[in-house]
A and B are shown apart, each in its own frame.
Chain A
Amino acid sequence: MYSAPLDRVPLNLPTTDRLKLADTKWILVTPENAEKIWADLEKKKYDIVIFGLTDKGYEDLSVNVAKLKKLVQQQQSVIAAYKRYYEDQTKAIDESNQKTESIKKDAEKTNKAEAEKKSIFNLKGLFK
């Protein structure tokens, strides 16, 4: 029985979209600078409204963003490990198949040589 190794079909996936994020500007409003901030908003033709966070809220938001970054980094690390492992494994399988083929060829060669050696003393050979 003969078996032929199959080549793995390469999984060529598209790359993810690159992020281009807009810069944001924080404003701190205190009782002392509130008037100035409103005037500034008016002057720059913004709506007179501030979307606010307390200091605790800001800290929580920062930690949440850091946790998201952690998740992205961990997932990238996992994907990179899978990639390295499967690429190495594919290479190892190819090498192993080549080695097996080489062993088979060597064995067949030895076998043939052995058979030829034996046939020297074969009486059939004498009448050839």
Chain B
Amino acid sequence: MFILMLAMTGLGYWYYNSTQEKMAVLVENAAKLEIAMQTQKQALESYKADIQKVTAEKSAVEADFTASRNAVEDLKSKFNKVSNLLGARDLGKTGAAKPDVIARVITKGSNNVMRCFEILSGDPLTEKEKNAETKSQINSMCPDVANPRYIPTP
């Protein structure tokens, strides 16, 4: 009887330990799965955030491209301006009539463009450029680059 009880106890002890070990493995596996799931979720969220950033950056660059293209078109239109009052603008005719005035205007324009390149290369803005607010104070060739305080009026 005692031997039978001893055998039963031993069997019970072995069974209990065996199930405990299996349960520990299962708990560990569940934890690993949880980590894998969380990591996947995080990767997906990160991917979504990246797509949003890419879209935002693309829009910002496209806006900059449009602004720079408009600047070229603006210059072209300055040369081909047609006014109801004065008719078509002709730089050649105006230059022949007022050479000194036009020479001054285009000299200022050329030097302003060169200044735009200096600023774009990283040259810091002067106080005069920083504080320019009116049309007469700005660098008309690149106010967006040279005059942060200037707000163009449509």
**Interface footprint category on A:** 35 or more
B111–A23 touching, CB < 8 Å: yes
> How long is the Cα–Cα vector from A22 to B75 in the complex, in angstroms?
22
Interface size range of chain B in the complex? 35 or more
Q: In the complex, what residues of B have CB within 8 A of residue A89's CB?
A: 50, 53
**Assembled-state Cα–Cα distance A74/B71 (Å):** 12
| A-contact 0/1 string along B112-123, CB 8 Å cutoff | 011111101111
Docked-complex contact A74 and B107, CB < 8 angstroms: no
Are the C-beta atoms of A81 and B60 separated by less than 8 Å?
Answer: yes
Known: A24-B111, A111-B27. A55 touches B123 (CB 8 A): no
Do A122 and B96 touch (CB < 8 A)? no
Cα(A104)–Cα(B34), bound, Å: 9
7 tightest Cβ-Cβ pairs between the two chains A and B: A55-B92, A28-B99, A77-B64, A19-B121, A21-B114, A70-B68, A81-B57
> Which secondary structure dominates chain B's binding surface?
helix
- Which residues from chain A contact B64 at a C-beta distance below 8 Å? 73-74, 77
B residues apposed to A, CB below 8 Å: 13, 16-17, 20, 23-24, 27-28, 31-32, 34-35, 38-39, 42-43, 46, 49-50, 53-54, 57-58, 60-61, 64-65, 67-69, 71-72, 75-76, 79, 90-92, 95-96, 99-100, 102-103, 106-107, 109-111, 113-118, 120-123, 141-142, 145
Q: Are B142 and A20 in contact (CB under 8 A)?
A: no
Residues of B within 8 A of A128 (CB): none
CB <8 Å contact, B60 and A118: no
Contact B72 A54 (CB under 8 A): no
Point out residues on A near B: beta carbons under 8 Å: 15-30, 32-33, 54-56, 58-59, 62-63, 65-67, 69-70, 72-74, 76-78, 81, 84-85, 88-89, 92-93, 96, 99-100, 103-104, 107-108, 110-111, 114-115, 118-119, 122-124
Chain B residues with Cβ below 8 Å from A81 are: 57-58, 60-61
Min CB distance B127 to A, Å, is: 18
Nearest CB in chain B: distance from A84 CB, A = 7
Q: Give complex CA distance A23, B114 in Å.
A: 8
Name the A residues within 8 Å of B76 (CB-CB): 63
Which chain B residues lie closer than 8 Å to A67 at the CB level?
72
Interface pair A59/B79, CB less than 8 Å apart: yes
Pairs A–B under 8 Å by Cβ, sample size 29: A18-B118, A18-B122, A19-B117, A21-B115, A22-B114, A23-B107, A24-B107, A28-B103, A29-B99, A32-B99, A33-B99, A55-B95, A62-B75, A69-B71, A69-B113, A69-B117, A69-B141, A70-B71, A72-B120, A73-B64, A77-B65, A84-B57, A85-B53, A100-B35, A100-B42, A104-B35, A107-B32, A115-B24, A122-B20
